[in-house]
């Protein structure tokens, strides 16, 4: 083009759009004719394209607590929630229709007028300004064809299926399909997910200005994010409001009011992916219960999962832990609370309660192998004795140290009380109250460790039916808690005490509904029809009367023994536990309506020569010693089960039990009558039976033949002595307790 012609083109008074229309305007009717003719020609060829009989868009699973409060959702990168769109404010749908398909109620799936109008706008502006697809076509493209290619073949398929869709469903139904599936940016599919993602609201609570914004960003949602492009977002909102005025949906005055001010949307970030209420519970539920059964359906089928968790109790548990251990350098902690029927009410798997990343790491409440329980395990030996008819008034020597020479514990091993504390001849009841190690070492020798191992297995510690199934090997160190256990296992077992010997199944789920609202599986008794009702598998792990005797004995621990910090002014049965060198501290306790177990300890760390003399992994000690990198007292105190764990337990239980009636534990109908007056065992020799080395229990699954508990190095406060046993020296994976 010559310079003169270029100047003329700039000064002839015609806009570029009008010049293009003059030059290419004849193509418009020809193009429309070709498109329409093509549709007619191939309609027969594509008449066999099937429209799915049942349309169920992908939707995220929602998880609720026992009172119907939303805890969170399960989804991949997408968030979807199917709702009844007929119950939305009318302006939500009207804004979408005004913006996306103004002739929605006047066409049968395709809108030729809309196609012509869009083509005209595109041609006169020199770029794509409008789309000609109807709401039905958009739904077919996104939810049925799921084909992003912009080809003539796909457009023809889209048009034919849109027509079929309009013949099968009403306009209201199709609009509902569309609103439940259209993408709004930020990984949100559907109006409900969009409302939650942008405004932390349900779609039923959207304001007019919020609804107009969401309708406006449908064509290019990521381009109109309020934090990245606030001006563009506001322009899109105002454009939709203007269209709603033009089409008679709202008044000018109402539109002017809705246009006032910026769009107050939540900041777009990855916070939703990083944070989740009750994160450890949600991950445990997903990993151990839901995904193994439902697979990817968990993320796409719109399941509604009603759990046994109580968010009020969960918050109380988290508050109890965080207020007791507020420092970043404090040890880890776990808390599990459940009813005598096994319904989980609170679940704390670590101190970072809402961290998805932490929850997907190590869960201190339920992940194997667990930690040694120390004297919190003594009740299983005492219960074995009671079941053998041995009275809790039986008497044993409480002196320390003693050497257990009974062949059942061969070869002999030395047992110490905490800090070498000395007792005279005391009863089993008193030995339990004061957690006297030497008495329980004598007791398991008399009973036979095989009988105690059998009791422990009956209470689920053999992990039967899990990938970690094991044999509870009958060693005498079982009496002092040498077996690795999890807080979840301990809570279930103590719930068995509370349930008079009936060992409950762990039950985190009440029932599950599908996306249509029908109950498909129930794990507890429900008052409505459910397709599959799972009957709980309850085993009688111990005699009811025996557990009633045990519970009465364990109340003395709280009333005047090692767990007075757990006294909340009502009947409480429980037991403290502290392992060698104060590496783990426990309190497991219950009232007739609820069992709660608390554990605390430092995570495992990589060993170094200056700390351990070896390169082995190790657990830091919650006490004072010369090596400050190895020994880390908490808030200036040596930690025992009767200190921080009992305090956490009391804070939580006093809060959640406030609305529960105060009831006593049931009295046993009879008492065991066999009274043992044991001969005092020999005093331990000055030197270990194995000179030159300290003998400690080995790994949980295969303990050594001669475990030799040793005393703690540092005494705890006299009011709360721990019950000390050795910790295994075997290596574990980094990050495991």
What's the pLDDT score for residue 228? Answer: 79
- Percent above pLDDT 90 for the chain: 59
| pLDDT band at 202; cut points 50, 70, 90 | very high
Using the structure block, give the residue that is written with the tokens 């257990």: 404
- Percent above pLDDT 70 for the chain: 79
Highest mean pLDDT among 42-56, 93-107, 109-123, 692-706: 93-107
Answer yes or no: is pLDDT of 623 > 60. Answer: yes
Q: Which residue has the higher pLDDT, 721 or 588?
A: 588
Q: Which residue has the higher pLDDT, 243 or 150?
A: 243
What's the pLDDT score for residue 236? Answer: 94
- For residue 351, give both structure tokens: 């101190």
Please compute the mean of the pLDDT values over residues 134-163 and round it to a whole number: 75
What's the pLDDT score for residue 222? Answer: 80
What's the pLDDT score for residue 699? Answer: 30
Enumerate residues 6+ apart whose C-beta is below 8 A from 697. Answer: 475, 477, 482, 703, 704, 707, 725, 726, 728
Distances (CA, A) of 712 to 423, 624, 638, 716: 17, 11, 11, 9
The Cα–Cα gap between 113 and 69 comes to: 47
Helix/strand/coil (H/E/C) assignment for every residue in 238-297: HHHHHHHHHCCCCCHHHHHHHCCCCCCCCCCCCHHHHECCCHHHHHHHHHHHHHHHHCCH
Answer yes or no: is pLDDT of 151 > 80. Answer: no
pLDDT digits (tens, 9 = 90+) for 639-661: 999 999 999 999 999 999 999 99
| pLDDT band at 80; cut points 50, 70, 90 | confident
The Cα–Cα gap between 642 and 577 comes to: 8
| pLDDT band at 678; cut points 50, 70, 90 | confident
Query: In sequence order, what are the beta bridge partners of 605?
Result: 618
Answer yes or no: is pLDDT of 57 > 60. Answer: yes
Please compute the mean of the pLDDT values over residues 349-370 and round it to a whole number: 95
Answer yes or no: is pLDDT of 214 > 90. Answer: yes
| pLDDT band at 119; cut points 50, 70, 90 | low
| pLDDT band at 27; cut points 50, 70, 90 | low
Q: For the ranges 114-118, 179-183, 396-400, 584-588, which has the lowest average pLDDT?
A: 114-118
Answer yes or no: is pLDDT of 177 > 80. Answer: yes
Distances (CA, A) of 309 to 70, 174, 271, 321, 597: 11, 37, 23, 17, 16
pLDDT digits (tens, 9 = 90+) for 679-699: 777 776 653 333 333 333 333
Answer yes or no: is pLDDT of 578 > 90. Answer: yes
The Cα–Cα gap between 663 and 498 comes to: 13
pLDDT digits (tens, 9 = 90+) for 503-562: 999 999 999 999 888 999 999 999 999 999 998 889 999 999 999 999 999 999 999 999
Using the structure block, give the residue that is written with the tokens 């790491």: 361
Answer yes or no: is pLDDT of 143 > 60. Answer: yes
What's the pLDDT score for residue 707? Answer: 36
Structure letter (DSSP) for residue 701? S
| pLDDT band at 99; cut points 50, 70, 90 | very high
The Cβ of residue 227 has, within 10 Å, a number of other Cβ atoms equal to 12
Answer yes or no: is pLDDT of 719 > 50. Answer: no
Q: Which residue has the higher pLDDT, 450 or 268?
A: 450
Answer yes or no: is pLDDT of 369 > 60. Answer: yes
The Cα–Cα gap between 163 and 169 comes to: 10
Answer yes or no: is pLDDT of 22 > 90. Answer: no
Please compute the mean of the pLDDT values over residues 175-188 and round it to a whole number: 87
pTM of the model: 0.73
Q: Which residue has the higher pLDDT, 116 or 609?
A: 116
What's the pLDDT score for residue 75? Answer: 75
Using the structure block, give the residue that is written with the tokens 């030996």: 381
Q: Which residue has the higher pLDDT, 112 or 214?
A: 214
What's the pLDDT score for residue 111? Answer: 74
Answer yes or no: is pLDDT of 130 > 70. Answer: no
What's the pLDDT score for residue 30? Answer: 57
Answer yes or no: is pLDDT of 710 > 50. Answer: no
Structure letter (DSSP) for residue 343? B
Answer yes or no: is pLDDT of 356 > 50. Answer: yes
Please compute the mean of the pLDDT values over residues 218-222 and round it to a whole number: 87
What's the pLDDT score for residue 77? Answer: 61
What's the pLDDT score for residue 182? Answer: 87
The Cβ of residue 427 has, within 10 Å, a number of other Cβ atoms equal to 18
Q: What is the mean pLDDT of the chain?
A: 83
Q: For the ranges 12-26, 373-387, 486-500, which has the lowest average pLDDT?
A: 12-26
Answer yes or no: is pLDDT of 3 > 70. Answer: no
Please compute the mean of the pLDDT values over residues 603-615 and round it to a whole number: 67
Please compute the mean of the pLDDT values over residues 180-197 and round it to a whole number: 88
Please compute the mean of the pLDDT values over residues 269-296 and round it to a whole number: 84
């Amino acid at each position: 083009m010559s310079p003169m012609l270029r100047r003329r083109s700039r000064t002839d008074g015609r806009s570029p759009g009008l010049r293009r229309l003059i030059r290419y305007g004849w193509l418009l009717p020809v193009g429309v004719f070709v498109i329409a003719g093509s549709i007619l020609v191939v309609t027969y060829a594509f008449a066999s394209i099937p429209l799915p009989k049942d349309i169920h868009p992908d939707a995220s699973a929602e998880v609720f607590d026992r009172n119907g409060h939303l805890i969170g959702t399960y989804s991949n990168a997408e968030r979807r929630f199917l709702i009844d769109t007929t119950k939305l404010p009318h302006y939500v749908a009207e804004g979408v229709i005004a913006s996306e398909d103004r002739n929605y109620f006047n066409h049968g799936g395709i809108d030729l007028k809309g196609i012509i109008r869009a083509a005209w706008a595109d041609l006169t502006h020199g770029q794509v300004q409008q789309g000609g697809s109807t709401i039905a076509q958009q739904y077919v493209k996104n939810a049925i064809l799921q084909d992003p290619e912009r080809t003539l073949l796909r457009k023809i398929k889209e048009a034919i299926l849109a027509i079929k869709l309009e013949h099968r469903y009403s306009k209201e139904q199709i609009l509902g399909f569309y609103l439940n599936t259209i993408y709004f940016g930020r990984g949100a599919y559907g109006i409900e997910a969009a409302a939650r993602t942008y405004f932390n609201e349900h779609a039923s609570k959207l304001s007019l200005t919020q609804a107009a914004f969401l309708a406006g960003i449908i064509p290019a949602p990521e381009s109109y994010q309020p934090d990245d492009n606030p001006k563009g977002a506001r322009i899109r909102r105002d454009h939709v409001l203007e269209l709603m005025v033009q089409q008679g949906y709202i008044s000018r005055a109402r539109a002017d009011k809705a246009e006032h001010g910026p769009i107050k949307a939540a900041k777009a970030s990855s916070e939703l992916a990083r944070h989740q209420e009750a994160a450890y519970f949600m991950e445990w539920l997903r990993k151990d219960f839901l995904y193994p059964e439902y697979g990817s359906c968990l993320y796409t089928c719109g399941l509604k999962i009603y759990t046994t968790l109580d968010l009020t109790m969960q918050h109380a548990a988290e508050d109890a832990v965080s207020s007791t251990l507020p420092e970043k350098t404090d040890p880890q902690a776990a808390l599990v609370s459940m009813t005598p029927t096994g319904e989980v009410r609170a679940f704390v798997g670590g101190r970072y309660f809402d961290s998805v990343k932490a929850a997907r790491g190590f869960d201190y409440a339920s992940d194997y192998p667990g930690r040694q329980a120390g004297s919190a395990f003594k009740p299983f030996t005492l219960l074995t004795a009671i079941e053998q008819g041995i009275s809790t008034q039986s008497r044993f020597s409480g002196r320390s140290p003693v050497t257990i020479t009974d062949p059942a514990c061969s070869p002999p091993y030395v047992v110490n009380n905490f800090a070498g504390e000395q007792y005279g001849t005391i009863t089993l009841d008193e030995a339990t109250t004061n957690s006297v190690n030497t008495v329980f070492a004598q007791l398991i020798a008399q009973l036979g460790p095989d009988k105690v191992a059998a009791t422990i297995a009956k209470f689920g510690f053999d992990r039967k039916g899990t990938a970690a199934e094991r044999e509870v090997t009958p060693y005498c160190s079982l009496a002092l808690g040498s077996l690795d256990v999890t807080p979840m296992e301990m809570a279930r077992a103590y719930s068995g005490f509370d349930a008079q010997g009936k060992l409950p199944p762990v039950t985190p789920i009440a029932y599950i509904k599908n996306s249509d609202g029908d109950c498909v599986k129930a794990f507890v008794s429900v008052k409505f029809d459910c397709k599959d009702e799972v009957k709980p598998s309850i085993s009688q792990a111990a005699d009811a009367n025996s557990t009633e005797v045990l519970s009465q004995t364990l109340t003395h621990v709280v009333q005047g023994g090692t767990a007075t910090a757990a006294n909340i002014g009502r009947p409480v049965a429980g037991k403290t536990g502290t392992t060698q060198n104060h590496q783990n501290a426990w309190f497991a306790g219950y009232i007739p309506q609820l069992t709660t177990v608390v554990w605390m300890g430092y995570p495992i760390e990589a060993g170094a020569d200056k700390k351990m003399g070896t390169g082995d992994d190790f657990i830091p000690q919650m006490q004072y010693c010369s090596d400050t990198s190895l020994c880390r007292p908490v808030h200036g105190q040596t930690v025992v089960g009767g200190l921080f764990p009992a305090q956490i337990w009391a804070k939580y239980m006093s809060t959640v039990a406030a609305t529960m009636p105060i009831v006593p534990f049931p009295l046993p109908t009879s008492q065991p009558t066999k009274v043992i007056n044991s001969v005092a065992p020999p005093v331990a020799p000055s030197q270990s039976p194995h000179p030159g080395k300290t003998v400690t229990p080995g790994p949980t699954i295969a303990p050594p033949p001669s475990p030799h508990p040793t005393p703690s190095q540092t005494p705890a406060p006299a009011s709360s002595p721990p019950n000390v046993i050795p910790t295994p020296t075997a290596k574990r994976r980094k990050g495991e307790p």
